[in-house]
Structure 1
Amino acid sequence: MYLMLKCTLSIFRENFIMLKRLSLYTLLLCLVPIFVWISGWHWQGDAALTQFDYFLYWLTETGSSPYAIITCGVFALLFFPFAKTKKQWVAVVAIMAVSMVVTQGLKTGLKHVFAEARPYVVELAANSDISTEYFYDQTKEQRQSIVTDYYSSRAETPGWLVEHRENEVSYSFPSGHTIFAVSWLLLAAGFFRLLGQTSSGAKILLILTALWAFLMLVSRLRLGMHYPLDLLISTLIAWVLHCALFVFLEKKRLFPRD
């Protein structure tokens, strides 16, 4: 009885530490939309674009198809040195792959449920003779053509951003890029905790992943692709799913720290 109680308390303690760790990183990313609301900032079109936004474009592309697949491969390889065995690394990568499939599948389903127009689409509709409803009633190819025609006379919008928007003609909520970036940050934080990794290399990778994820959220706002609420709810969706994942993994003791 004593041993059972001790084991239960140990699992509860580990779960609490894990949830606290995941929640702190989630809170860090939630600061992006929270700061936007506090500051009163809102997207005002492309006239205010800077050179930094061009950097954000390249960063946001790491979460865009098909480059996101390369990003997943890079993260998988970066985790190789932190696994105790090759078998353990394969198990970690397999779980990461499941996380990506589930979160992105959920994102796709929710986009069609809520059917929210992107900020740039709202601006496009306001400055043309079409409505957002008409825009989204068209096929993907027709929507891309509408975007191309609209920006052909908009000199303030650079070609790289036009091309990005031509590829991003789906709905706004939730943000797939946000869920993608937040998921990778939480996977890194969760697995480093699960594997007992406290090395300098693990800390550096975690910091760089957090910075990448933070800027990913910023990029979605600056490029006119999402609203702050999209980012906040998408971050929380990733948090809930990965809290459940790592509580399950802690309970099953699949990755002993010893």
Structure 2
Amino acid sequence: MSKQLKNLTLGAILLLLPALLALVCGWHWHGQQTSITAYPFYLFTQTVTRPWGIVTSILLGLLLYRNALPLTRNLGVSLLLMVIVVWGGQGIKSLLKPYFAQPRPYVVALMEEMHQTPSYFYQQTQSERQQLIREASTFWPTLPAWQQGHWLKETGYSFPSGHSFFVASWLLLFYGLLSIKKSWPLLIIVTLWAWAVMWSRMLLGMHWPRDLIASVVIAWGFTFLVLVIYHFFSHRRS
């Protein structure tokens, strides 16, 4: 279990790099940064957004099962671990968002343009929030339609990041259940995908670096707890 903890921690540290780099450089999103050059990152964000997130989960689940350590080669056990870690993490995210009620970067920037506070935005109904977002092109003429469309679908709170929670849960499962020496090409690919999704959340004005950091840290703790419980019961059966 100590080796798994080291591997999980390695995965978490790697996943923290995009957000930490943004913090060190003092970078943060603002309205003037909307650009067509962010479109590739939008495509990466779509791999987590419904319905493509389901397809991504199936593909990652198959890859994880085929390359998992012998301990988790049982199909039922593997599926259970994936469901608990990934979808349990999404449940945690859903509970925390309304509790912290932190505004998204694009909401803060848009409300500044409208001389309103972020709380004004969140006091509106869903349809009223969407109408405010449609007015964003008045202030940012170069705002791409696909980015505005993404905002229209995600008018909720910022902290923590659900997309980051999703990629962190999967990445940590890969680092926790795969042999790093034998599976390093696959781990590199999954890590690069996770980085791209994390960058996309900041570049599209959806999340602050702190949102990503919190998601990774909570996902690390939750994944470790699930694996500890799994090992405890598996050892009792043996």
- Asked whether the two chains share a fold, i.e. TM above 0.5, the reply is yes
Q: Indicate whether 1:170 and 2:151 are aligned.
A: no
The residue correspondences of 1:85-234 to structure 2 (distance < 5 A) are 88-151=74-137, 154-193=140-179, 199=182, 202-234=183-215
Comparing 35-44 and 82-91, the one that deviates more: 82-91
TM-score by length of 1: 0.83
Distance 1:36 1:164, change over 3 A: same
Q: Indicate whether 1:238 and 2:238 are aligned.
A: no
Comparing 202-211 and 157-166, the one that deviates more: 202-211
In 2, distance between residues paired with 1:169 and 1:153?
Answer: 18
Q: Indicate whether 1:77 and 2:58 are aligned.
A: no
Following TM superposition, the consecutive aligned residue runs of length 4 or more in structure 1 with deviations greater than 4 angstroms are 83-87
Contact kept in structure 2, 1:47 and 1:156, CA below 8 Å: no
Shift, 1:190, TM fit: 1.3
Shift, 1:98, TM fit: 1.9
Deviations 1:202-237 (A, max 9, x none): 332221111111111111111111111111111100
Shift, 1:198, TM fit: 5.2
CA RMSD of aligned residues (A): 2.3
Shift, 1:36, TM fit: 1.3
Distance 1:162 1:186, change over 3 A: same
Contact kept in structure 2, 1:79 and 1:89, CA below 8 Å: no
Contact kept in structure 2, 1:26 and 1:182, CA below 8 Å: yes
Picking from 41, 44, 50, the partner of 1:65 is: 50
In 1, distance between residues paired with 2:47 and 2:154?
Answer: 14
Contact kept in structure 1, 2:30 and 2:109, CA below 8 Å: no
Contact kept in structure 1, 2:30 and 2:106, CA below 8 Å: no
Contact kept in structure 2, 1:151 and 1:157, CA below 8 Å: yes
5+ residue gaps, structure 1, are 1-14
In 2, distance between residues paired with 1:198 and 1:81?
Answer: 16
In 2, distance between residues paired with 1:147 and 1:249?
Answer: 45
Q: Please tell me whether Structure 1 or Structure 2 has the larger radius of gyration of its CA atoms.
A: 1
Q: Which residue pairs with 1:38 in the alignment? A: 24
Distance 1:175 1:203, change over 3 A: same
Question: What percentage of aligned pairs have identical amino acids?
Answer: 34
Q: Which residue pairs with 1:5 in the alignment? A: none
Contact kept in structure 2, 1:172 and 1:230, CA below 8 Å: yes
**Residue type of the alignment partner of 1:113:** Y
Shift, 1:63, TM fit: 1.2
Contact kept in structure 2, 1:22 and 1:190, CA below 8 Å: yes
Tell me the number of residue pairs that the alignment of Structure 1 and Structure 2 aligns: 235
